[in-house]
Amino acid sequence: MTDSKYFSTTKKGEIFEMKAELNSDKKEKKKEAVKKVIASMTVGKDVSALFPDVVNCMQTDNLELKKLVYLYLMNYAKSQPDMAIMAVNTFVKDCEDSNPLIRALAVRTMGCIRVDKITEYLCEPLRKCLKDEDPYVRKTAAVCVAKLHDINAQLVEDQGFLDLLKDLLSDSNPMVVANAVAAISEIMESSPTAAQVLELNTSTTNKLLTALNECTEWGQVFILDAISNSTPKEEREAQSICERVTPRLAHANAAVVLSAVRVVMKLMEMLEQTGDYYTTLLKKLSPPLVTLLSAEPEIQYVALRNINLIVQKRPEILKNEMKVFFVKYNDPIYVKLEKLDIMIRLTNPGNIAQVLAELKEYATEVDVDFVRKSVRAIGRCAIKVEQAAERCVSTLLDLIQTKVNYVVQEAIVVIKDIFRKYPNKYESIIATLCENLDTLDEPEARASMIWIIGEYAERIDNADELLESFLEGFQDENPQVQLQLLTAIVKLFLKRPTDTQELVQQVLSLATQDSDNPDLRDRGYIYWRLLSTDPAAAKEVVLAEKPLISEETDLIEPTLLDELICHIASLASVYHKPPSAFVEGKSGLRRVLPPRSQSGNVDEANVTAEVPQQQQPTVIPGADSLIGDLLDMDLGGPSMQQMYPPSVPTSQTPIQSSVAMDLLGEGLDSLLGPSTLGGDVLGGLGDIFGMPQSQSYVPPQEVWLPANKGKGLEIMGTFARKQNQIFMEITFTNKAMQNMGDFAIQFNKNSFGLMPAQPLHIRTPLPPNQSGSTSLPLSTNGPVQKMDPLTSLQVAVKNNIDVFYLSCLVPLHVMFVEDGEMDKRVFLATWKDIPSQNEVQFTINNVQHNGDTVSQKLRNNNIFTIAKRNVEGQDMLYQSLKLTNGIWVLAELKIQPGNPNFTLSLKGRAMDVYSGIHGAYETVLHN
Amino acid sequence: MSASAVYVLDVKGKVMICRNYRGDIDMSVIDKFMPLVMEKEEEGNMTPIIQYGNTAFFYTKYNNLYLVATSKKNANVALVFSFLHKLVQIFMEYFKELEEESIRDNFVLIYELLDEVMDFGFPQTTDSKILQEYITVDGHKLEIAPRPPMAVTNAVSWRSEGIKYRKNEVFLDVVESVNLLVSANSNVLRSEIVGCIKMRVYLSGMPELRLGLNDKVLFESTGRGKSKSVELEDVKFHQCVRLPRFENDRTISFVPPDGEFELMSYRLTTHVKPLIWVESVIERHAHSRVEYMIKAKSQFKRRSTANNVEIVIPVPTDADSPKFKTTFGSCKYVPESNAVIWTIKSFPGGKEYLMRAHFSLPSVEAEDVDGKPPIEVKFEIPYFTVSGIQVRYLKIIEKSGYQALPLVRYITQNGDYQLRTN
């Protein structure tokens, strides 16, 4: 007889029938009826209407029936909170039953009923159960505290349950200890106040380590994870914990092993990195990690994702275990891909031959994704191990000969990277590549091929024909290919100007006139202007030497890596993302590795030697970021300035350059994702060509937050006044190795009440080695606090990694408002009205302009010349300005012909601002 | 820290039974699971973890069932997967088979089990022998309500007290599996031995057992470095073994569970000659035929014999009209797995056999590209371990002082034994 019969009733009036049976006098019939109800519930029918009838069956001696009724309650109590209260009495009674199984069942179930009214009644029974004589009840009650905390944290904390729970850590029974630890970890994660009460100290850690030897495998995981959350005070303690945890590495349960690995990996940071014990630990970690690869595929996957982190953090552990990561034919695809990734990380000159042979084998498999990744891996090997580059290239050539379409395309993409890493070494193969031109149909492969042709145009006799052939379908190409084609043809033209003029004109006109893509158009215009004004400069820009690409790819940024090491075995370690990235409303603290052991100089040397190496920005660019590189190099290059009118002294500083940066920055943006066509881009373009003179001076962007203080985030910025508003021009550069996002900005109180008028808008994610710029409009309605110096502004910038604080000076002239022009008579009256002790004189040296230019320049910055007099050959300019906070300042500027030193007298009621205003004059007149 | 809910789904993704442990997710989120799996499968980026919004699905497939756990937190993934696999094991031990029918037939019991094995997402008692003491298939027949067995909360959570046997016996099986990966040009890429010691324990009371192996580390530390010993690279123990003790002096001491269990597993990578070596010459004549010449060689001592040897040779999906010729054994074409299986019931050491196969190929080429699956070999060699591991003694001490003799059997078999072809 099986239970399946309970599913078989499908009659109408079923509910009614069940109701009758539930109220039957016969025990057996009652039980059958409850089973039918549960069966209906299981297949998703709504049987909540039977609530009172089922609850009536609760008072029974039959354990099986009781369990079923409890199950029903858990499912429907929330929908029937008022009736659920009927059950309370039985619960309370059951909590005092003579059978511990029933006591535990009652307290366990009650905790699962998330109805406030019931929760109130839970407190007393729970308190008793926490002190029950039977460990089975106590261990259940321990978990129940966590349940209750989840429903009503305040109640748990007020009722002193935290202390009771803490007492259970000293319980004589290891299972009770384990569950108490689990509950505590859970509570600590959600409540910082509780975390203070519950924090583990050395003596509790010791108790836990003792319980570790006696509790179940799951209990061991709870304890290990709890231990990994706390940090011992000193090296000796760390070592002693390691000693007691390492035996767990021999446990048959993979979860126990990985949690033990987490503890050891974290505490190793505190050990002397040259000590014997450290070396022993390194040796002990390798075998269990390898054994995990014989576990079930899902566990293998988790293990591999974690090994990927471990290999990056401590490469020495698995450096000799390359072979265990060789892919087996019947591995699931997710295991194959992860193994491949780790193989590349472990590749070194010693094992490259074997690795290559394997990769070549994989490249002939059937699974397209795996094959592609294998081909790509060959390229990564070439870039990583220079000695093997030649072999890699010839392997890739072999693969190209297979003529398997996606293999060829993938090979061409990676060969482009190899060319970048080893310029002028393997160009002999270009001919072979060109043979496959027609078969390329993927944008990335086409773009890569075009890049190769452009880059080596001088060695490819028919480069012009080849590029021309692409040009025919220009309009239908992917933007990535279009941009690359544009650049390649310009390169070709610069290398062989005589016979390619027509071609370049054709592409420029296609790009600028026939394209809707602003990025393409902008780049077309830039090239066009460059080529028409100064071909030599164009050459310097377009054919500039490219920075070498470095070997390691997609390394995890070091701070994130450290955080992830503290989360080994968890979801975060599988996603390679901090928990905050996918757990909603997590208030818990970020976990960080303990500070490194500082004993021994060798150690310190190691640390410093390691850091710069790890922080290298490292990406093998895809075709898109190659374009990025190219353009990045353009910025600040000396050749840019030819475009600007002579009034701009250096190419790096003036506003125009930052506009250009915007323009190019946005250009990159669109390569990476759907293009964000802001007015900014077009406006910027207008600026380049129109050169409006009426704009207020914008100081060059300066570094506000260097990347080493910003965990890879570099912030540059300046302030500008445009359209009667103050803007913070800010550029974020991601010098870390992971995407950044979630940018936000906040200002501290400041002298002028500056605050952002709208949220910070930066395109996200910001990929490594890319910049994002924005103009943030500011309002002056914020809280005011006088700062010293007056123009100082403290800013907090947040991203997905951390919050950073920086301080900068706001150039005062951006605070000058547009309606600062005083009526002549008012000016005269005011001037007289202000006592003469308020007048202060400054000298402005070395100004190379005459009176008119000066007026114009000042006017552009909202310093208005109200009157001009000529006294004894000297020009006297009378000026007024008004600050955003309504402070008026009057000025008299004395200019002697032939003397570059001007005299400035300021008069106003708030003398605090004088020095700032003098500074503003200096800045404006010298720029 | 771990699972919010656990589901068992049928092959179409319909919920057969589920249990909500934490009440922090909408249980209907599971409706998204199957579409997501299909989508991932289509995109070719299958992973055993799927994120949907802020819910993560962890799943494993057994027979035609999906076991799925969900979580909204930064769960311990290793714990969740170990638990799901353990759940499969428990169901197997309760119902013999785990399939749709056994779930439906036992839903009441499964609810009881789900209630006991996990609480608020924390795995609890998962030892099925102990569970069976208070959650039974015939639960409804019990007159007196059961009590939680001591073992549930004891330090020895895997064995109950008061077990009695008339005859006290222990059986030890040392099983070694050889994992081998050979490249197409006959280089051994990986050769690994994964061994395990399985026990069947029929002993009364609470016996204390100590197992002695010819463990190299132990021998060297006790000055017997010269004797024949085995270097175990990694050892994993059943939870009954006292790990700190092993870490200290390599003593394997434990109170065993009752009945059958796996005491330990070990792994070593010492290079041994592949026990059965297979060479293949494959000649493909596109559009007409493909010919195989397979040579199998047994490279172990003459006095041992490999039994039930099966050499599985993959053939193209569109091959037909098979013809075979062998010097020994028999051949069978198995179209559903696209392979020829060459069976040799008894393959003594130091012998060499040959097999030739011939297939016709259609003149029209198939659209799907065939991969190059490796040749696989299955075998069993009784009374033999590749590693040379030996059980030196098994001491059994129980306070009642009975005598029990252990019986030891050795066997070596294939593990993942793959030889790539050209």
- The reply to whether residue A583 touches residue B72, judged by beta carbons under 8 angstroms, is yes
- The reply to whether residue A143 touches residue B44, judged by beta carbons under 8 angstroms, is no
| Domain assignment present for B159 | no
pLDDT tens profile A450-507: 999 998 888 888 888 888 888 888 888 899 999 999 999 999 999 888 888 889 999 9
- The reply to whether residue B181 touches residue A326, judged by beta carbons under 8 angstroms, is yes
- pLDDT of residue A623 exceeding 50, the answer is no
| Domain assignment present for B415 | yes
| DSSP notation for B183-221 | -TTS-EEEEEEEEEEEEEEE--SS-EEEEEE-BHHHHHH
Mean pLDDT of A206-226: 93
Tell me, yes or no, whether B47 and B106 share the same domain.
Answer: yes
Residues of chain B with C-beta less than 8 angstroms from the C-beta of A582: 51, 54, 56, 74
- What is the CA B180 to chain-centroid distance, rounded? 17
Higher pLDDT: A11 or B204? It is: B204
Give me the pLDDT at residue A11, please: 58
Q: Out of A400-414, A663-677, A905-919, which region has the weakest mean confidence (pLDDT)?
A: A663-677
Tell me, yes or no, whether B107 and B193 share the same domain.
Answer: no
* Shortest CA distance from B234: residue in chain A: A287
Domain end, chosen from B111, B126, B153, is at B153
Contact indicator for A137, A107 with CB cutoff of 8 Å: yes
Mean pLDDT of A217-222: 96
Top-confidence range, A594-608, A677-691, A712-726:
A712-726
Residue partners of A578: CB distance under 8 A and separation at least 6: A560, A563, A564, A572, A590, A800
- The reply to whether residue A288 touches residue B108, judged by beta carbons under 8 angstroms, is no
Mean pLDDT of B75-102: 94
Residues of chain B with C-beta less than 8 angstroms from the C-beta of A227: none
Tell me, yes or no, whether B29 and B145 share the same domain.
Answer: yes
Give me the pLDDT at residue A598, please: 58
Residues of chain A with C-beta less than 8 angstroms from the C-beta of B123: 218
Contact indicator for A446, A481 with CB cutoff of 8 Å: yes
Residues of chain B with C-beta less than 8 angstroms from the C-beta of A288: 234, 236
**A186 at B interface, C-beta within 8 A:** yes
Give me the pLDDT at residue A553, please: 63
Tell me, yes or no, whether B174 and B93 share the same domain.
Answer: no
Closest C-alpha among A773, A679, A775 to residue A727? A775
In angstroms, how far is the first alpha carbon of chain B from the final one?
48
Higher pLDDT: B422 or A444? It is: A444
Give me the pLDDT at residue B129, please: 87
* Shortest CA distance from B53: residue in chain A: A582
**A175 at B interface, C-beta within 8 A:** yes
Domain end, chosen from B84, B118, B153, is at B153
| Domain assignment present for B163 | no
Mean pLDDT of B120-149: 79
Interface probe for B, chosen from A217, A249, A330 (most Cβ of B below 10 Å), is A217
Reply yes or no: is the peptide bond before residue A765 cis, omega within 30 of 0: yes
pLDDT tens profile A841-888: 888 888 877 778 888 888 888 888 888 877 777 888 888 888 888 888
- The reply to whether residue A301 touches residue B267, judged by beta carbons under 8 angstroms, is no
| Domain assignment present for B329 | yes
* Shortest CA distance from A226: residue in chain B: B1
Backbone angles phi, psi at B88, to 5 degrees: -55, -45
Tell me, yes or no, whether B194 and B237 share the same domain.
Answer: yes
- pLDDT of residue A53 exceeding 50, the answer is yes
pLDDT tens profile B168-177: 999 999 999 9
Taking the CB of residue A218, how many other CB atoms lie within 10 A of it?
A: 27
Tell me, yes or no, whether B78 and B175 share the same domain.
Answer: no
**In which domain, by residue range, is B358 found?**
276-382
Domain end, chosen from B88, B120, B153, is at B153
| Domain assignment present for B74 | yes
State the Cα–Cα distance between residues A174 and A285, nearest whole angstrom: 27
| Domain assignment present for B160 | no
Give me the pLDDT at residue A645, please: 37
Indicate if the alpha-carbon torsion angle A40, A41, A46, A52 is positive or negative: positive
The CATH number for B336's domain is 2.60.40.1170
- pLDDT of residue A631 exceeding 60, the answer is no
Tell me, yes or no, whether B131 and B212 share the same domain.
Answer: no
- pLDDT of residue A839 exceeding 90, the answer is no
- pLDDT of residue A608 exceeding 60, the answer is no
* Å between B148 CA and nearest CA of chain A: 6
Top-confidence range, A669-683, B144-158, B209-223:
B209-223
Q: What ipTM describes this predicted complex? A: 0.91
- pLDDT of residue B257 exceeding 90, the answer is yes
Tell me, yes or no, whether B78 and B197 share the same domain.
Answer: no
* Integer angstrom CA distances of residue A744 from A758, A798, A802, A807: 11, 5, 11, 16
Interface probe for A, chosen from B47, B118, B135 (most Cβ of A below 10 Å), is B47
State the Cα–Cα distance between residues A632 and B80, nearest whole angstrom: 47
State the Cα–Cα distance between residues A592 and A590, nearest whole angstrom: 6
State the Cα–Cα distance between residues B223 and A46, nearest whole angstrom: 72
| Domain assignment present for B158 | no
- The reply to whether residue A250 touches residue B236, judged by beta carbons under 8 angstroms, is yes
Contact indicator for A569, A258 with CB cutoff of 8 Å: yes
Give me the pLDDT at residue A655, please: 36
| DSSP notation for A556-600 | PPHHHHHHHHTTTTBHHHHHTS-GGGTSTT--SPPP-PPPPP--S
Q: B312 in helix, strand or coil?
A: strand
Global pTM value:
0.74
**B267 at A interface, C-beta within 8 A:** yes
Strands B330-334 and B339-348, bridge-based pairing: antiparallel
Query: How many domains does one find in chain B?
Result: 3
* Å between A271 CA and nearest CA of chain B: 21
**B82 at A interface, C-beta within 8 A:** yes
Tell me, yes or no, whether B115 and B194 share the same domain.
Answer: no
Q: A–B: how many Cβ contacts below 8 A?
A: 271
- The reply to whether residue B105 touches residue A296, judged by beta carbons under 8 angstroms, is no
Q: A631 in helix, strand or coil?
A: helix
**A216 at B interface, C-beta within 8 A:** yes
φ/ψ region of A889 (left if φ > 0, alpha if ψ in -120 to 50, else beta) reads beta
Mean pLDDT of A584-608: 57
* B:288-347 residues touching chain A, CB 8 A cutoff: none
* Å between A579 CA and nearest CA of chain B: 6
State the Cα–Cα distance between residues A199 and B385, nearest whole angstrom: 51
**B61 at A interface, C-beta within 8 A:** no
| Domain assignment present for B162 | no
The CATH number for B74's domain is 3.30.450.60
pLDDT tens profile A170-181: 999 999 999 999
- The reply to whether residue A3 touches residue B104, judged by beta carbons under 8 angstroms, is yes
pLDDT tens profile A63-108: 888 899 999 998 888 888 888 888 888 889 999 999 999 999 999 9
- The reply to whether residue A108 touches residue B115, judged by beta carbons under 8 angstroms, is yes
Tell me, yes or no, whether B46 and B130 share the same domain.
Answer: yes
Tell me, yes or no, whether B90 and B64 share the same domain.
Answer: yes
Give me the pLDDT at residue B138, please: 67
Tell me, yes or no, whether B55 and B120 share the same domain.
Answer: yes
